[in-house]
Structure 1
Amino acid sequence: MSGINRERERKFRKLLVRIAKSPLYTEKLKNFDTASIGLDQILTLPLTTKEDLRKAGAFGHLAVGINEVAQYHESFGTTGEPSASWFTIEDMELGGKQMSACGVRLAPEDLVLIRFPYAMSLPAFLMQQAARQTGAGVVPASGRTPVTPYPRVLELMKRLGVTVIAGLPREMELLAETARLLGLDPAKDFPALRAICVAGELMSERRREHIGRLWNVPVFNMYGSTETGNIAAMCEHGVMHIVEQDFVVEVLKEQGLEHAAPGAKGFAAVTTLSHQASPLLRYFNEDVVAVEPCKCSCGRTGSKLVHFGRRRDRIEFGDAVLDARDIQDAVYSLAPVPDAWKVIEGRNGLHFILDSHRGADWTEEALRAQLTGLLSVPVTVEIAAGNALLDRDDLVRNAPSKKPVYIQKLDAAVPEAPTAMSDLLDRGRRLLAARKFQESRELFEKAVALYPHSADSHAWLSAAYGRLIETGIMLEKMNLLPLLEKEIATALEIDPNHPFARRMNGARLLNTPEVLGGDPAAAADDFRYCLDQGMDEADIWVSLGECYMKLDDPHEAVRALQEALVREPGHERANELMQQVTGLQ
C-alpha cells in the first residue's frame, strides 16, 4: 500500500468514528459495524443524499460542539430547501490549501479580486483563505450585490492593478461584455491581469478556452460544493486533480450499487476524509463525473476528474443522452460564441436562444445545422432580440448580478418546467413593453404551444394581439380580433378568476362596440375585480373611468380618473379623459 493510500485509510477510519457524533449518521450507521469497515468496503455503506441533508436540517450532520464552529454556510437546491455545512477554523484553513492546489500559484505579489458571492456561499471565503496563506492581497468585490456592479469591478481591476480574478465563469463573461460596452478591450486594457480562477458552474474545455481568449490569460477551474469544500483543482496543464488526501470520489453506475470503470461516466459519491465540523459519507451530489488515474506533466499522480454537469440537466432523446457538458461544448463551438444563451427542452427536440453583439454574423439556418450536427438531436434556434436574454443596460448600471440558468426542462413532469414557462413569458413581456409586439406575440404563441393549459400563456398572448390590433391597419384588426377573443375565452375557461385574463376581457368588452358584443358594465366589473386583486395600476383606473363615461356616470368616472392621476400624475390618457368628463358636467 502506497503512502497516500495508507494516509487515506487512516483518515477514513477516523472519519467513521467522528461522523457517528452527528445525529444524521448516528441513525444512518446504527446497524453497521464501522470499526471493521475499511476503504475497500465503502460500497457496503449507505449513500448520503441531498434530501437526507435537507431533512436533517442545519444541525443534523454537525459532528462537533457549537463552541468549535468558526463559520456556517448553506446552499439552495432546486427545491428551495437549503443544505447546511459547518466549518471549524481548521476546516477553513484546509479549504484554503485545497484552493491553493490550483495551478494559478498565488504569490505575495498577487492582488486577487474575489467576485464570488460572499453571502452564505463558500468559495469566496476559501479563496480568501488561499490568498492569505500565500501572502496575496484580496479585493472583496462580491457578486450579486449593488455595491460592486460590473463597471465598478472593472474600474477596481484597472486602478488597483488586479493580477488574478476569482469568481463564477459567467461573471468573467459578463465582465468582458461590460468592458466592451464601456469601450474597453478586456484582452488588452488590463495588463496586470495574469490569470482567472473559476468555480461554481460547469466549465467545459471550450468554455474555458473562450474565457481565456476574452481576457488573454489562462483560466483555472476548480470543482467542489458548499457541502464538501473544494474537491479538485486544475493544474497549469488543464487537468483537474482530485485532492485525494482529503476526498474519496466514487463514480457509481446508474443503480448506485457498483463502481463505474475508470474513465467511464457515472454519478459522484464524495466522502470528506478531513472535514471536522460537518463531515460527509458517500455524499451523492447528483453530479455526472468521470474519474481515472493519470500521470500529469505537472508532476502530480493520482486521479483526475471530468465534470459533465448535474443529473437533472441530462436530456435524453431516443438513444441520444446529452449531459450539460455536451450542450455547453456545442454552444461554445459557435462563431461568434454567444454572449448569452439558453436551451429549452421540448418533446421534439431542443430550442436554443442565443444572443451576441455580433449576431449579424449568424443565420438561424447555419446555427441550426451546426448544433444539430454536434448534438445529433433535432434543434430549433432563436436569435434573441434586443435585451430579451441579456439586459446590457443592467450591465452598465448599478444593478446586481443574477444567478444564471442555462438549461430548462419543458416536460410537464419535470419540476423546472414552470420556470421555463416563466422565462418565455418574462421575455415576451419585456418585448411587449418595448413595443416589439410581433416578437412578443411569437414568444407568447410558443408558450401557449408548450403550455396549452396555462391561463397565463393565453392571457399574455391576448395582450400581444390587443397591441397589434391597436397599431394595425383595418384588415389586420379584423383578422386579429377573433384570435384575441379566443385566447381570452380560453384563459378564462382554464381559470375564470385569473386577474390578467379578466383585465384583458374588460378591455375587450370596453373597446368593442355594443352592437358587436361590447358591454361597459361587464367591463367595469372585470376592472374592479382586478383592482380588488391588487392590480392597482393607473391604466386600470383609466379603463374603469372610461367604462363609467360610457355608462353616463361622470361622478364615478371622475373618481376613477383621479385615482389614476394619484398613481401617475402625467398619465396622458387620464388627463385627456378628465378634461372631457369635467367639460360634460
Structure 2
Amino acid sequence: MEMKQIQTLYPGAPASAAAERASRRQLRQWQEQRLRSLYQRTWEHNAFYRNRWLEHGLRADDVRSLDDISKLPVVSKRDFESDLAAHPPFGTYQGDFSAIRVQASSGSSGNPKPFFQTRNDWNTITNLWSRRFYAQGVRAGDVFQVVFTYSLFIAGFTGTEGAMKLGALVIPAGSGAVTPSERQVRLLSDWGATVIAGTPSYVLHLADVAEGMGMELKEDFKLRIGIHTAEPMTEAARRSIESRWGIKAYDNFGSVETGAPTFECPEQNGYHINEDAYIFEVLDRDTMMPVPPGNDGVVVVTTLFKEAAPVVRYNLEDISSIVDDPCPCGRTLRRLMKIKGRASEMLKVRGVPFYPTAVEGVLETFPELTREYRLIVDRVGQQDRVTVQLERRSDIDEINPLRERLERAFKVATGLAMNAELLSPGELTRSLKVEERIKVKRIWDRRGEKNV
C-alpha cells in the first residue's frame, strides 16, 4: 500500500470522523473486505498461520465473509512462544514482508515477544493513535509530555508520532529511568505541558514527587489532559489522577501485538473499537464460542491492516464485554467495556477468585498511603496466605490502628482475610523500581516456591 492508500483506508484524525461515525452496514462491509484481504495476504506470506490453517482443514479461499472468521483457530501467546522456540530468534509468525522495525511485548508474563512492523503497519498504527488523542481533546499547539518508556515497548514511539500528526509539540521525556522524576516535574511546569501521556501509576507517582518538592498540582502546572495505557487504570486511579492534578484522565486499551485498537471518548464509558481496522470478539474462555453482547469473556482480536506479524483471532486473555448501545458522543463504533482483569492474573485463594485491582478501590479511602502496592501469596502449611505490601506517605506513630482498618477494608472488598504490611515512605517505590518500570506488576505468587 502507498501512503495515500493508508490515509484513505485508515485515516488519522480529524479525517477519521467519517469512519468513526459510519453506518453499521458500512463498517461490516469494510471488515468483510479487509478480512478477505488479510486472509489472502497472510496465507501467501506467513507460514505460521498458513500451517495452522492447513492443520484445521482450511484452504486458500475459505474465508469469503465476515462470518467465516469463526472457521479460523484462536491463537494464544503460548503459540507465539512455541514458534519462537522452534524458529529462533524471531519465529515464523512475522511473515516475509519487508519490516523496518521491531517492537516487543514487555514480558509481564513470560519472555518479551518480538513483533515486526512494516512502514505501512507503522503509519497505520500512528494514525490510529492520532484518533485516540483527538477524541480526548488534543489539538495542534498542545504541549505534549510523553512519560512512557522509550524501549522495545511500543507506546512511547507510536504515541509520540500520533501526537505529532495532530500538530502537538512533543516533549519526549521518557520514563524516570531516562529523565529522573524531579526533572520530569520541572519540565511539566517550566515548559507548560498541557497533556501528559504515561502509565497511570507513574503519573500518580509524579504527583507524589511534585508535592514532595513543595509544588501545588493545580496551580503550578498547565495540564488539562492525561492519556493513559499500558496497565489497567481502575476508576479509583482515574479519580485520584483527576482530583489531584485537576485534569481529565483518559484510558486506552491495546497492546504491542495489536497497536492502537481502542480509545475512550469524553463520555469515559468504555473503549470505542476502531472497527475499520480491527475485529474484536468476546469468547467464552472455556468453549471459545461467542458470548452475547454485554456478557463477559476473553477478548480476541484480529488486526485487519497488518502486513508483518498480523494477529488473527489472537486471545489477549483479558476479561471484558462488548456493548452495542449507542454512545452519546455520536460514534457508531462499538465499545469494549472496562477490562476486569487478565485471565492469567486472576488469583484463587482459599477457593475465592479475585483480581488484584480490587485492592485499589480500598487504597482510595486511605490518604495516608501512596497508590503503590504489591500482593504476595504464600502457602503456609495447607493454607494460602495473602500479604498486601503498602507504602506510607510519611512516618506514622501509630501503625497498628491503620493496619487494622486496612485489613477490615480488604476483607469487605475481596471476601478474603489479608495481612497488611506497611512499609516506610519510598521503600516500596524503590523495591518496585517505579522510576524505570515499563508497566506495573502487582502479584508475587510464591506458592510454587520452596522454603516459603
Matches of 1:312 and 1:268, distance apart in 2: 13
Does 2:38 correspond to 1:15?
yes
Matches of 2:242 and 2:150, distance apart in 1: 25
Does 2:224 correspond to 1:194?
yes
Q: Which amino acid aligns with 1:122?
A: I
Does 2:155 correspond to 1:129?
no
**Equivalent position of 1:236 in the other structure:** 266
Unaligned runs of 5+ in 1: 418-450, 455-585
Matches of 1:281 and 1:403, distance apart in 2: 25
> RMSD across aligned C-alpha pairs, in angstroms?
2.4
**Equivalent position of 1:411 in the other structure:** 447
Instruction: Kindly indicate whether the alpha-carbon contact (under 8 Å) linking 1:19 and 1:280 is maintained by their aligned counterparts in 2.
Output: no
**Equivalent position of 1:214 in the other structure:** 244
User: Once the two structures are superposed, what CA deviation does each residue of 1:529-578 show, in whole Å capped at 9, x if it has no partner?
Assistant: xxxxxxxxxxxxxxxxxxxxxxxxxxxxxxxxxxxxxxxxxxxxxxxxxx
For residue 42 of structure 1, the aligned residue among 69, 74, 97 is 69
Offset of residue 214 of structure 1? 1.9
Task: From the CA coordinates, give the structure whose radius of gyration is larger.
Answer: 1
Matches of 2:324 and 2:377, distance apart in 1: 35
Which shifted more, 334-343 or 45-54?
A: 334-343
For residue 311 of structure 1, the aligned residue among 323, 334, 343 is 343
Q: Larger RCO: Structure 1 or Structure 2 (Cα < 8 Å, ≥ 6 residues apart)?
A: 2
Cα separation, partners in 2 of 1:230 and 1:329, compared to 1, 3 Å: farther
Offset of residue 44 of structure 1? 2.5
**Equivalent position of 1:119 in the other structure:** 151
For 1:11-410, list aligned pairs within 5 A. Answer: 11-20=34-43, 21-30=45-54, 31-37=57-63, 38-57=65-84, 58-66=90-98, 69-78=99-108, 80-102=110-132, 103-143=135-175, 145=177, 147-190=178-221, 192-239=222-269, 240-305=271-336, 306-317=338-349, 320-336=352-368, 338-346=370-378, 347-357=383-393, 360=396, 363-391=402-430, 400=436, 404-410=440-446
Instruction: Kindly indicate whether the alpha-carbon contact (under 8 Å) linking 1:95 and 1:129 is maintained by their aligned counterparts in 2.
Output: no
User: Once the two structures are superposed, what CA deviation does each residue of 1:404-441 show, in whole Å capped at 9, x if it has no partner?
Assistant: 321222321xxxx5xxxxxxxxxxxxxxxxxxxxxxxx
Cα separation, partners in 2 of 1:325 and 1:357, compared to 1, 3 Å: closer
Offset of residue 12 of structure 1? 0.8
Cα separation, partners in 2 of 1:108 and 1:302, compared to 1, 3 Å: closer
Residue aligned with 2:211, SS? helix
Q: Which amino acid aligns with 2:312?
A: L
Q: Which amino acid aligns with 1:159?
A: D
Offset of residue 257 of structure 1? 2.7
Unaligned runs of 5+ in 2: 1-23, 85-89
Cα separation, partners in 2 of 1:200 and 1:78, compared to 1, 3 Å: closer
Matches of 1:78 and 1:96, distance apart in 2: 24
User: Once the two structures are superposed, what CA deviation does each residue of 1:79-127 show, in whole Å capped at 9, x if it has no partner?
Assistant: 6422121222222222122222333232111111111111111111111
Matches of 2:275 and 2:438, distance apart in 1: 33
Q: Which amino acid aligns with 1:272?
A: T
Cα separation, partners in 2 of 1:403 and 1:127, compared to 1, 3 Å: closer
Q: Which amino acid aligns with 1:226?
A: V
TM-score, length basis structure 2 = 0.84
User: Once the two structures are superposed, what CA deviation does each residue of 1:233-285 show, in whole Å capped at 9, x if it has no partner?
Assistant: 11111121111111112112121431223222211111111122221111112
**Equivalent position of 1:484 in the other structure:** none
Residue aligned with 1:178, SS? helix
Cα separation, partners in 2 of 1:106 and 1:234, compared to 1, 3 Å: same
Instruction: Kindly indicate whether the alpha-carbon contact (under 8 Å) linking 1:331 and 1:371 is maintained by their aligned counterparts in 2.
Output: no
Matches of 1:359 and 1:261, distance apart in 2: 51
Cα separation, partners in 2 of 1:13 and 1:402, compared to 1, 3 Å: closer
